[in-house]
Structure 1
Amino acid sequence: MEAAEAVHMGIISLVPAVVSVILAFWTRNTVFSLAVACFLGILLSGGGLLGFPALMKTALGTTSFSGLLLLELFIGVMIAFFQRTGAIQNVTLMLERRKFTRVKTQLMAWFLGMFVFFSDYFSPLFVGSTMRNLADKARISREKLAYIADSTSAPVSVLVPITGWAAYFTGLLIGVGTITNEAEAMSLFLQTIPFNFYAILSVLFVGLLAMRVIPDFGPMKKAERRAIEEGKVLRDGADPLMGSELTDTPPYEGIKTNVFLNFFLPVLIVVAIAVGTFMTLKSAKTMEAFLAAAVILGIIMRFQGIPFSDIMKTATAGMKGVMPAILVLAFAFSLNQLSKDMGTAHYIISVTESWLTPQLLPFLIFIVCGVISFATGTSWGTFAIVMPLAAPLAFTFSGGEVSLLVVATIAAVAGGGVMGDHCSPLSDTTVLASTGAASDHIDHVKTQLPYALTVASISAALYLLIGMVFV
């Protein structure tokens, strides 16, 4: 790791991420916190006053950000169309006729999150926007809805072998140890799934909370009590991470809503294109799927009698509605780029690699990945950084064989990366969960964090047990 040690700035590299988190909790303003952290990091790294706009141009002038930007915009258009056609309202009425209780509503949101397994971006937005009205009527806090949507996005995607996550993860394994091709990498990935404790337990934890097997605790308990007793799904003074254009858009007067054409057909189009392109092209074209669905839904709206001018106005309103989330994502991408430039991840690895013994390897890799992904807000970036260190070490310790140590260590990389990403205020999926549920972003992070840390503690203990007993 000598090369990695040469490119980090030591403990200074942690300052921007730490400052952003502290300021976010203190000010409750995510955009301000991220902007200050970026500016401070630029000054510490010697970029000067002009370094800030240069950082923004570098971070945002990428296909990754532009793809996510377009995805957000098209999802915003679809949600606005759902509202304008009365689709969301009618779906809510359909579910209400089944007399959904608070428990059933939460279980339905949980099921929907697992159903939309193919995209960790679509899942939290779909679950939040679809279930929001029903959850509000059941007096479920927006924080709880955001938690359910968040916990069934990345934790589910990383467990399913036919997602972009699996393709990316197996790609990192090719050429490591005895893994020489895609088939062997996929075989190893399948073996790691039962040992991805954080992802499995995160999904199960949601179901147990929904069924009241585990009672709410911490800040979430307070939020749920407020919603139940006072009918306030948001706290006083909360700033939902979604514009009023996507929460207060009324149905077009006189429209006769067709739930299949106005809701289920667009959703089926998204699922069909995303899954179909993944199966044929090995890459789920989610953004293109939403574009196609939005265009088709717009055509349907015109045939239903909604004027073209109103359709375009609704589409523009939908784009405006997701702007708060896009601002957060823009600064989060910039901070991630800054952390990469300052070598934050390499520094974290450099101060822990001397402790990596066979017995502690899965446990420490899980912790390291969790810290890196929390500090940077990216699980995929964490995988790319840690896998080249962790997997070869595990193979070396196991004599080049695919042993339990190798399987557990690779699973720890996957689970640790998801863990930090799951609860970081800088994470794109955390932002999207707040957006879909129209929750205050920091309220979502604060209420989710104790649950995520509980699951992480259990997962870490299991990795420690595997290392101590079976290695």
Structure 2
Amino acid sequence: MTASSNEPNQHDSLREHNDREPVPAIEEAATGTAVQPDIGTDMARQFRPARRLAAAVVIGGIVASLYVFAQVEPRWQEQKRTYNVYENEAGQLSYMFKGEETAIEGVVPYAESPLRQEALKDVDGRPPFESQWVVDSVQEEGVETKRYSLLETRFHFGLWSLLPAVVAIGLCLLTKEPLTALLIAVVVGAFMVGRFDITDAVLLPSLASKSAATILLLYLWLLGGLMGIWSRTGAAKAFAEFMTDHFVKGPRSAKLVAWLMGVIFFQGGTVSVVLVGTIVKPVADKEKVSHEELAYIVDSTASPIAAVLAFNAWPIYVQALIFVPGVSFLATESDRIAFFFRSVPFSFYSILAVIGTFLLSLGYTRFSGAGIRAASERARITGQLDGPGVTPMGAEELQVAKIPPGYKPHVLEFFVPLLLLIGTAVGTFVVTGTPRVNWAFGLALLLSVLVALAKGMRLGDVIEGIGDGLKGVVLASVILMLAVTVGSISQEVGAGTYLVDLLGDHIPYIALPVALQLITMIIAFSTGTSWGTFAIAFPLAMPLAWNVGLASGVAHPELFMSVCFATVLNGSVFGDQCSPISDTTILSAMTTGCDLTDHVKTQLVPACYAAGVAAVMWTATVACFA
């Protein structure tokens, strides 16, 4: 491989480092024998306080969860989501959701509903049902109109609602064992709501859910099998060599390719993370790009770029959550989609996150944090892609190509299935509005298997390759399923409901954008989902922003609403991106082979920089222009 003039050769750097900094040794003792430092003993002493603190968190979390179950009464909250309801041709009341017409029945006056907040204050036990359509009359420009809303009930335990998320995140950072941390968090959350049979009442229903089935199908069988086949046929290695010979000439250009792939796959979320991580890892590993840097680039060009280049499913989903009665620019579905795109220039966090990863790819690490700078330096000098004593999410089975004797790899074995994968995902999105990712990975895996067999590989070698791939991602898949369970339990015990309830109606308009940003950051960080946070926050935040803006007499209410909209959108993206229980965070670590805790810790610093600057920009925009 030939390195470019502006990127130092790693072997030369390593040789210079070894000449300049010999391995330290303790001076010879009186016996004349050189004594080496006991690294294992030093590490045990270093981590002993963390272990004690982790044990205290486990015991304290379980005791606290039992206390909540026995002593803390849940506080029931009305969740009111107003829709633009109309009569269809058949005379039925209907509303549009994700482009489809949905009929509603059983509408009652709001004042008679047992789910309104006044009635919930006196409820003994659970409300009679979970949701109900209601109608009330409002005055709009002197004309009385009917407003239709869906009332739903949510409860929270006050500050205790954050307990499962705090336990999960705290133990992840203390022990670097996400599997144990998530399992303990599941136990804590289950005890809070009285589910003491963890296997039958919590884990089995979670494993039987559609989310768990999707994880098993896509991220374990299909993705794992495809990565295993590419490793066995040498396709991934051939792709890395091809990219190195023609495009990539060092770690800087490898990171630029990763950033560009993230921008190209702007669908966002798990689709982008899995595609980009799988594509760029062979090239980045060959060029000695640290796994912390690569995971950050992959993760920070997933949801952030989807919020900026929003030609995806996001506007259709979000528009159904932001209808505010009486607001003309949010009246129809097309109005709300147009409002989404007009608000994109105010997505300051997402824009800064994408710019930050671009600067990192160019070698500017001033805003990347000490962790990423240290990881970059470690990879450049020593060639080590992971830090000492960590557990990378990518298993050993996927790190080394086990090509059978006589089999000749070809780069087309990577390119052709990849093009089929991308074409299927994009094509199904254009035709149906939803990318069929399972179809895409399934067809790519099938084609890779058929090509390998056609080129003479034995069926036994193919099966072994798929098996190695499954073993390589099984741990990450289990962690991902437990993370989904923790996120659903955090939502069930009311983490998001409690945080939104804290905001209240009496807040200065200039402080509202940052308040919404902080609340949604914490909700998404605690639950590990941005779209779930949208569903919690948008129906409450948008009417609140409109009322606060009118009460404060802002000169440009639509601009003020756009800023508040952007803070909810971007706060949710930040929390989802940085949470150790988020699917995109876990998949970024898995597809790039990074240790999950290292990915979270190193990514938090540049993400917080971007969030802080974005908060200042939102406040300045409201102060100067709204």
Please tell me the root mean square deviation across aligned C-alpha atoms, in Å.
Answer: 2.1
Q: Kindly provide the amino acid, as one letter, of the partner of residue 585 in structure 2.
A: T
Quickly say closer, same or farther: Cα 1:221–1:213, change in 2 above 3 A: closer
Point out the more displaced range, 34-43 or 174-183: 174-183
* Pairs within 5 Å for 1:67-86: 67-73=214-220, 74-86=222-234
AA partner of residue 462 (structure 2) = I
Matched, 1:273 2:424: yes
Shift of 1:343: 0.4
User: Does 2:532 correspond to 1:370?
Assistant: no
1:125 to partner: Cα distance: 2.9
For 1:372-411, what per-residue CA distance to the aligned partner results, in whole angstroms no more than 9, with x for missing partners? 0001110010000001011222333455997101111111
- Alignment check: 8 A CA contact 2:161 2:493 kept: yes
Residues 1:44 and 2:196 aligned together:
no
Corresponding residue SS for 2:164: helix
d(CA) in 1 for partners of 2:233, 2:333: 45
Q: Match for residue 34 of structure 1? A: 182
1:419 maps to a residue whose letter is: F
Amino acid at match of 1:403: E
- The reply to whether residue 450 of structure 1 matches residue 625 of structure 2 is no
- Paired residues, what number? 469
Q: Provide TM-score, normalisation by structure 1.
A: 0.94
Deviation per CA, 1:317-373: give whole Å up to 9, x if none. Answer: 222221111111111111111111110101111112345432222221111111100
Which residue among 154, 158, 165 is the counterpart of 2:303?
154
Please identify runs of 4+ aligned residues in structure 1 that moved more than 3 A.
173-178, 354-357, 395-402
Shift of 1:52: 5.4
- Pick closer, same or farther for the CA change 1:362–1:60 going to 2, 3 Å: farther
Letter in 1 for 2:304: P
Indicate which of 386, 389, 412 corresponds to 2:540: 389
Given the alignment of the two structures, is residue 248 of structure 1 paired with residue 400 of structure 2, yes or no? Answer: yes
In the TM superposition, 1:82-231 aligns within 5 A as: 82-98=230-246, 100-173=249-322, 177-178=327-328, 179-215=330-366, 216-231=368-383
| Cα distance, 1:104 vs structure 2 | 1.1
For the residues of structure 1 that align with 2:542 and 2:219, how far apart are their CA atoms? 35
Aligned residue for 2:364, secondary structure, equals coil
Q: What residue ranges of structure 1 are gaps of 5+ in the alignment? A: none
Rounded to whole Å, the distance in 2 between the matches of 1:289 and 1:50 is 38
Determine if contact 1:39/1:52 at 8 Å carries over to the other structure.
no
> Which structure has the larger Rg?
2
The answer on 1:62 being equivalent to 2:197 is no
Shift of 1:278: 1.4
Higher-helix-fraction structure: 1
Q: Give me the whole-angstrom Cα distance separating, in 1, the residues matched to 2:487 and 2:264.
A: 30
Structure 1 residues 327 and 355 mapped into 2: Cα distance closer, same or farther (>3 Å)?
A: farther
Q: Which amino acid aligns with 1:418?
A: V
Alpha carbons 1:86, 1:252 under 8 Å: kept: no
Q: What are the superposed Cα offsets for residues 160-210 of structure 1, whole Å, 9 maximum, x if unpaired?
A: 333233332233335664434332222111111111111111111001122
The answer to whether the 8 Å contact 2:324/2:543 transfers is no
Q: Is the 8 A contact 2:483 2:582 kept in 1?
A: yes
> Which residue pairs with 1:17 in the alignment?
165
> Structure 1 residue 139: deviation in Å?
2.7
- Matching residue's letter, 1:104: S
Q: For 1:167 and 1:64, how far apart are their aligned partners in 2?
A: 21
For residue 7 of structure 1, give the secondary structure of its aligned residue in structure 2. strand
**Which of the residues 383, 399, 416 maps onto 2:571?**
416
Deviations 1:91-123 (A, max 9, x none): 111122245122111111111111222253233
**Greater RCO between the two (CA within 8 Å, min separation 6)?**
1
- Closer, same or farther: CA 444–79 of 1 in aligned 2, 3 Å: same
Instruction: Give the whole-Å Cα distance in 1 for the aligned partners of 2:561 and 2:405.
Output: 61
How far apart, in 1, do the equivalents of 2:177 and 2:187 lie?
A: 16
Q: What secondary structure does 1:97 align onto? A: helix
1:428 aligns with 2:583: yes
Alignment of structure 1 residues 283-294 onto 2, 5 Å: 283-294=434-445
Matched-pair identity in %: 30
CA offset digits 1:283-313 (Å, max 9, x no partner): 1111221111111221122111112232233
1:1-57 deviation line (CA, Å, top 9, x unaligned): 94258611111111111111111111100010111111122223332x214541223
Cα displacement (A) at 1:77: 1.4
1:108-155 per-position Cα deviation (integer Å, ceiling 9, x unaligned)? 111111122225323323333333333234332111111111111111
1:8 equivalenced with 2:156 (yes/no): yes
Q: For structure 1, which segment, 370-379 or 155-164, has the greater mean C-alpha deviation from structure 2 after superposition?
A: 155-164
Q: Within 1, Cα distance between the matches of 2:469 and 2:319? A: 36
Residues 170, 292 of structure 1: CA spacing in aligned structure 2 closer, same or farther, 3 A cutoff? Answer: farther
